[in-house]
Structure formats: C-alpha cells, structure tokens
Chains A and B, each alone.
Chain A
Amino acid sequence: GAGVSQSPSNKVTEKGKDVELRCDPISGHTALYWYRQRLGQGLEFLIYFQGNSAPDKSGLPSDRFSAERTGESVSTLTIQRTQQEDSAVYLCASSLYSSNQPQHFGDGTRLSIL
C-alpha cells in the first residue's frame, strides 16, 4: 500500500497477557519509529530503527517492552505482562532515510488492558 499500515487497529486484552503490534512502513523508508500516545496526551517516543544500524531504544519505558525490525521491512512491538497503564494508542511512523525527513504515520493500534 501507499501508506504506513498498522495492525491490529484495536486490541483488548487482559492484564498480564503479552501483546504484539505490527507496523508495515512505506516501501523504501529506512527509518521507522514507534510512539505511544495516551488519551489526550502528546507523542511519547519509544524506539527508532534506521536501516541495519542498532536501534535507539532509549524511549522504551521498561524491560516489558521490546521491538524488532527485519532489515527495512516490518516491525513488531511486543509488550509482555501488560499492565493497565499500557493502555494507549501505539503509533508507528516511517521516513525516507533519517530523522531529518517528514514522518508518515500509521493509524495506530488502540490497546486496552482490562
């Protein structure tokens, strides 16, 4: 497709379960970002991938959060042992090749922890 695709669009799960969120960036975009957006709040940086370089994980809030990306394609964000405070919209964005280029966002995954 032409844009950034995220799945699922909505996820409801019980506290303590693991969840996996997927992001399919725009083809050719080497940079990929994950953000968390709590209700009515701004964008909280989580992790950044650039090509085959080591990812910048400085925004991950705890060791329950991890992310992977294979080459310049799909990325998955995994949250283990989910907590209620993990409830948020998780947004993925990609850009052409660096942080100095426009970011294109997906529609996000709305995660609700019961």
Chain B
Amino acid sequence: GENVEQHPSTLSVQEGDSAVIKCTYSDSASNYFPWYKQELGKRPQLIIDIRSNVGEKKDQRIAVTLNKTAKHFSLHITETQPEDSAVYFCAASQTTGNQFYFGTGTSLTVIP
C-alpha cells in the first residue's frame, strides 16, 4: 500500500519568514494530495490541495508543488504569521481506493 513520509516533524521560523514542509509518497497511482492544518484541540481543516495533472497551486500566502517523477509534494507558506502556528498534515489518495494516507504531521511554530 501507499506510504507517506513527512518532514520535518517540527519547524520553527521567525515571523515573516517562509516555511516549507515536504512529503514523499510511494505509490505512483496516487493522484490527489491535500494538506490539512490542525490547531491545538481543533479539527483538521483543508487548506490547499493539488491533483496530479498540475505541478503547482497557489492560494494567497500558501502554495503546494508536486513532482510526480520524484513522488514528492511540498507546502510553502510565505510571510508567516503567528496564527500559522499549528500542526500540518499531508495526505495522498487515489481515484480507486478507500483511504487517505496521512503523513505524521509537522508542528510549525512562528515566533513573533
């Protein structure tokens, strides 16, 4: 089955700097890659997603890039703010299949 690895497990950045979180996957059939943000004690919320037919997607300060050949995708947050502090999870899934395969999470701290 699919195996999703996520790095780093913790990340601290100064406010205003950029943050990058990377995930790798093993199954070339995976074609949908969402990112979730989970604030302490709250539900995971979808912040951005990308499908395998595109290489990059942006939404204001957040972007996701996908390299299908290398089987990795990354979350980029620019001009970080303290409210970006949370745990971020990547995931991979396929058109045919039952599961989302989640990464182990990255705890991001933005230092004011």
* A contacts, CB < 8 Å to B: 33, 41-43, 45, 48, 50, 56, 59, 91, 98-108
Q: Which one, B44, B97, B102, B105, contacts A99 given CB within 8 A? A: B97
Cross-chain contact A91 with B44 (CB below 8 angstroms): yes
Cross-chain contact A102 with B44 (CB below 8 angstroms): no
Complex Cα gap A50–B99 (Å): 11
Given contacts A99-B93, A100-B93, contact A42 B99 (CB under 8 A): no
Main secondary structure of the interface of A (DSSP, over half): loop
Cross-chain contact A42 with B43 (CB below 8 angstroms): no
Given contacts A33-B100, A48-B99, A100-B93, contact A43 B31 (CB under 8 A): no
Cross-chain contact A43 with B102 (CB below 8 angstroms): yes
- Minimal Cβ-Cβ distance residue in A for B45: A105
* B contacts, CB < 8 Å to A: 31-32, 34, 36, 42-46, 49, 89, 93-95, 97-100, 102-105
Q: Inside 8 A of B31's CB, which chain A residues have their CB? A: 100
Most buried by B among A33, A43, A106: A43
Most buried by A among B34, B44, B98, B104: B98
Q: Inside 8 A of B93's CB, which chain A residues have their CB? A: 99-100
Q: Inside 8 A of A59's CB, which chain B residues have their CB? A: 99
Q: Inside 8 A of A33's CB, which chain B residues have their CB? A: 100
| A42-B89, A42-B105 given; 17 more Cβ-contact pairs under 8 Å | A41-B104, A42-B104, A43-B44, A43-B89, A48-B98, A50-B98, A99-B97, A99-B98, A99-B99, A100-B31, A100-B94, A102-B46, A103-B100, A105-B44, A105-B45, A106-B43, A107-B43
Complex Cα gap A102–B42 (Å): 18
Cross-chain contact B95 with A45 (CB below 8 angstroms): no
